[in-house]
Structure formats: structure tokens, C-alpha cells
Chains A and B, each alone.
Chain A
């Protein structure tokens, strides 16, 4: 297919959501970015790869979400000078992805404004690129001095508050540099990458089944979303269709993962506004939820339950009945707690107008997923490109326009109820049949998966060599898009509201550090 009149043939991948792939040349690379931006499309992901094994030099890939589906454009780069046209002028979210691609593969965005390292701190030298084929990924280097140039804010009474990487709660590591006057935040600069543990290098050389376990551990809170996106990629690469029952069970688990996270966040958000009752009650509901996960699927977080070709184990009729009974019980409890939240003036005072991201800003910066929907961005893959079984569920994508913490809380309540409705429908109408179809790549190919996780869209791009071994697997977390927006959401708020605002986004560190 041809998109935006670019004279470039995109091939549709064999995936249940519309994903198209094409190789482009440099002029098309820039023209595509401009065309997608003008058509109000989104940048989903950007990553680099070393293709010298196939005699092709390096490559940089970009994935865009358009009204027709996802476009994966790959630009080949010279082995001697791997540089490509910067696309961050169209999509600000590309800045950190371009910096990461340089750190991992050594491909450079020409004329990019910010060229500071992102994932490379001091653990390896600037001329070492872990994803290049001449390296094994097992090299060890002496730690080097790590002097990261933060942007300085100057003026009368301005001072800095440095927080992290080790934070005060049970939370992932990252560094936040606040520039404040009194209590008011003038600027926040994030520095992430502390959890970079070499996941993308680890994928290289695995077979597609081994890769599934690793993909399920990119971000533990989204393990089902990643496992499904990865499985979709592997299945589209081989050309296998999963049995209907397996697809239904996957959706059942994905919606259960969404509810589990929303229950946890709703309690934690109340707690961050000093409403301890909320944490106690929501964490109790979450525990009930996880215990039934363990009973029905064999794992509290449902890790390794989705695998290429289907799901790891079937559920029986008795489990389905339990799942349905729990939906009824939890729905009535959450409804009651929502009334308590709505009536609580002190709580609402903390939530309303705090950490606002206007729809205009959200659109410009590419805010995605749940946080995007709280700021008027309507995208939800389950509603936009309903693949089985979502095509029969009539998913109602909710949006709010206030873009504050209260809107992100409201989104969670509404999505919770919508997911509970879907879980009930899925458990009630589960079709019969097998739950797994063997899938193992034995040849070279490309595949991709794109799934609406609880936080936002999770994307996986997968490439294998002639023996079916993984040569490149890129996993993309929606946190890449949303972290930079958090820096804007805090501006003008007071420092003590940061935990609340941060929690209302609840972004993944592990998913973006890889």
C-alpha cells in the first residue's frame, strides 16, 4: 500500500491489527515524518539496529500511528557514517529515543538539538555500542566519571532539589532535578536510564520462544501487554493465527491486568493525598484480584501466561464462574469507593487542577495511553482497530479534557468499570477449542505487535535471521512518550504535589530504561 503519496510500497504484516512495513530512503524518511505530523498521527517508537550481518550497514526505524494503522519505516544507513535526518522537530517525543538509539547502536540524528547521552551513564565508554555485532554484550568496563549536564535555571532565589535515583518509597529508581522558588516548581528535569540492564542485547540470538519470557519482563506491571505484543510479533513473523479461545483468554488477562493496576493506583493516589483509608481498601481489593489470578492462571501477575501461539494454560468452567462472581463483587465495591472519592471535599481539593496537561500540550508532545485520554487524546487501540476478540466487545474509549490529576483518577474509575464489563462478557462467552498453536520461527522475517496495555500502547518489533534466531527485538513502552510530559505537568505546582502528580501518570522506569 502507498501512504501519503510517498511512492513507497508498504507491505501489510500478518497481524490482527493493521501494521505496515517498508524500507524508505532518506528523503522519504523525512517526508513521512512531516506527512504523519500534518495528518495528526503519532510517533510510536524509534530505534536503531545493526544490519551489517546481512551486508546492509546500519538502520534506523520509526513506527507511526496513523488513521490506517501502524507504519514501520526503516531507513538503511551507511556503515561508515550512520546518520539520519532528525525527526524530533516534528515529534518532540523522538528526542530521548534518538539519544537512546545513539547510545545503543551508534546511529546519529543529524542536527539534533540535544545530544547528551541518555542510557549511557558511566558504565561503558562513549565509543562502545552494545548492540553492534562486533560486541558480545558481555564486555565489562571500569566505571567512568558521570557528569551529566543538567539544564541550569538561574535567577533570584532559585535553588535546586535533587531527588534520586534511590527514592523514599517502594518505587523504581530515577533522578529528578527540580528548580524551585520557595515551594513553586519552575522546572523539572528527569534523568532516567538507571535500570538499563541490557534487555535488547539479551534478545539477540534467542529463539522466539525464549524471547517471550524476556519480553514479559520488560515492565512487570504490564507483563500481559508485553507478552501479547511480543506473541503477536512472533505470530505475524511466522504467519500463524492463534485459536479463537486463546485470543479471548488473552483479552481476559489483559483486562484483568488493567483492573489490577487501576485498583493499585487508585489506592496509592488516595494515599498520596493523605487518604489512608483508600490505600487500605483498594489494596485489599487488589489482593483479592491477584489471588484469583493465581488460582485461575497460575501466577499472581499472569507472567508467562501469554506465549507465542496462544496461552500457557486453559481455564475451566468453574474458574470462569469464579471470575464472573468476582467481577460483580469488585464492581459494587469500586462503585461505592468512587462515591466516597467524589464526596470527599478534602481529597478533591488535592486532585482538581493539580498537574494539568491541556489537550493542546498533550497533542503537541504526543501524550499517549491513559494519561493522553485524560487530556483529550482519544487514541485507544481496542476501539480504533478492534482486533479479535475486541471486535465483538464494542469498547467504549473514554476521554476527559481537564488533564489534571482528577481527570486521570476519573479515567481509572471509568476504565475499571469498562474492563469489568468486558471481563464478564469474555468469561461468559468463552468459545471452545484449543488454546495453543505451535509457533517457532525457523527462517528470517519481520513481525510486529501492537497492544493497548493499561498504561498505553505497547509495541514490539521483531526480526529473525535465516535460522529463526532473534537478530533484533525492540520493545517500546508508552512511558517514553509520557515521561517528558510529566516535566510539563509539574510546572507551577508545588513540590509536595509532585508525588501525587507522578503517581497519577504512574510511568514505567524499567520499560523505558530497557
Chain B
């Protein structure tokens, strides 16, 4: 245990400021944290769905959990079930063999729900295109709010896309004015 604590203490914190939604500049974590709370009234829960990617995008989505990006610190977390999710983070192209599973996942997500398509393939099918086996981009199967191009997009770009989707959430679907975070 002593060894572990010493190791942690020597490395310190490496977390960096989060990016501006879909832009280059960085913003401090507490602003994003407050913003997510103002819009949602609680942490943003994300369900990732791989609908047929090459797994390159998954590597970069996983990287969002590393201490540099520290998305849990921003009030964003990945959840195990679509029923617990506010946002679906979908990588593609959507293979024909995953079409039904993706639709069911979308249907299982409670409204209002957001969808972010990740990667060139998620945007438009990318190099795999449309064929007997591929439906192409995610928007050919379910409605998409924000698309993040790149092959694969960097973790910062994916995070910027997630933040853009949260901000673009229509006010009518946002939290009721009398909503207070916590138990109610």
C-alpha cells in the first residue's frame, strides 16, 4: 500500500482543462461542471454503442477516462445500460448485423435523448461506405444530434462533440425551472 501511495503522490495530478465545445481552446473544469448541472441538473450519463467500427474510435473513447481528460471530474460518466443514459455515443459504420441492436438500444434510452455519432464512419460510413453489409452513417438508422468527424477523432474532439450536444439541447427539453439537483 505504501508503495502505491508513494507512486500516486510522486506523479501528482495531470488533468488538463477541457476543450471548448467543438473548438480548440480549453476551458476550466468547474465551468463545464456547472454548465452540465445547469442544463441537466445532474451528471451526464453516456452509453457507448459500437455499431460496427474498426475499434479505433473505441480506443480514443476509452482514453477519455484517463487522468488527462478525467471526464468523470466534469460530471460525465459512462453507464452500462441505455436505460440509464442521456446520450448515446455511437461509432460506426452501422453494420447490417448491428442495425436491429442499435435501434433497440435507441428505443431503450429514455427521452429526451441525445445521439453523438463518432468518427468518419459514424458520420457517413467512411471508407466502408454503404453495401450489402453496411448501412453507412449512424444517421441512416437513428436520428443524430452531433457528428464528430476524424479517423479516429482525438479524445479532445470527442469530448468537444459531447459538450456541443449537451449545449444544443432544446430549452423545452431541458430541466424544469423548479428542478433542484438531488432528491426530489
- Min distance, Cβ B131 to any Cβ of chain A, angstroms: 4
Interface 0/1 of A30-70, CB less than 8 Å to B: 00000000000000000000000000000000000000000
CB neighbours of B57 from chain A (8 A): 220
- Asked whether, in the complex, the Cβ of A287 is within 8 Å of the Cβ of B132, the reply is no
- Asked whether, in the complex, the Cβ of B63 is within 8 Å of the Cβ of A198, the reply is no
- Asked whether, in the complex, the Cβ of B131 is within 8 Å of the Cβ of A138, the reply is yes
A217 to B59, CA, bound (A): 13
Interface 0/1 of B132-172, CB less than 8 Å to A: 11100000000000000001101000000000000000000
CB neighbours of A220 from chain B (8 A): 53-59, 152
Interface size class of B (residues with CB under 8 A): 35 or more
A141 to B96, CA, bound (A): 10
Most buried by A among B48, B54, B66, B68: B54
Interface positions, chain B 1-30, Cβ under 8 Å from A, are 3-4, 7-8, 11, 14
The answer to whether the Cβ of A134 comes within 8 Å of any Cβ in the partner chain is: no
Which one of A121-129, A349-357, A422-430 is at the interface? A121-129
The answer to whether the Cβ of A219 comes within 8 Å of any Cβ in the partner chain is: yes
CB neighbours of B80 from chain A (8 A): 168-169
Number of A-B contacts (CB under 8 A): 162
Residue of B at shortest CB range from A198?
B133
The answer to whether the Cβ of B52 comes within 8 Å of any Cβ in the partner chain is: yes
A218 to B52, CA, bound (A): 11
Contact of B50 among A173, A277, A337 (CB under 8 A): A173
- Asked whether, in the complex, the Cβ of A137 is within 8 Å of the Cβ of B132, the reply is yes
- Asked whether, in the complex, the Cβ of B66 is within 8 Å of the Cβ of A173, the reply is no
Which one of A83-91, A278-286, A482-490 is at the interface? A278-286
Residue of B at shortest CB range from A226?
B54
A327 to B54, CA, bound (A): 28
Residue of B at shortest CB range from A260?
B59
A340 to B8, CA, bound (A): 12
- Asked whether, in the complex, the Cβ of B58 is within 8 Å of the Cβ of A123, the reply is no
- Asked whether, in the complex, the Cβ of A218 is within 8 Å of the Cβ of B59, the reply is no
CB neighbours of A279 from chain B (8 A): 65
Interface positions, chain A 164-213, Cβ under 8 Å from B, are 165-166, 168-173, 193-199, 201-202, 213
Q: Which residues of A contact B (CB under 8 A)?
A: 121, 123-124, 128, 130, 135, 137-141, 143, 165-166, 168-173, 193-199, 201-202, 213-214, 217-221, 223, 264, 277, 279-281, 283-284, 286-287, 290, 300-301, 303, 336-337, 339-340, 343, 508-510, 513
A-B contact pairs, 6 of them (CB 8 A): A130-B132, A194-B101, A287-B63, A287-B67, A300-B60, A510-B53
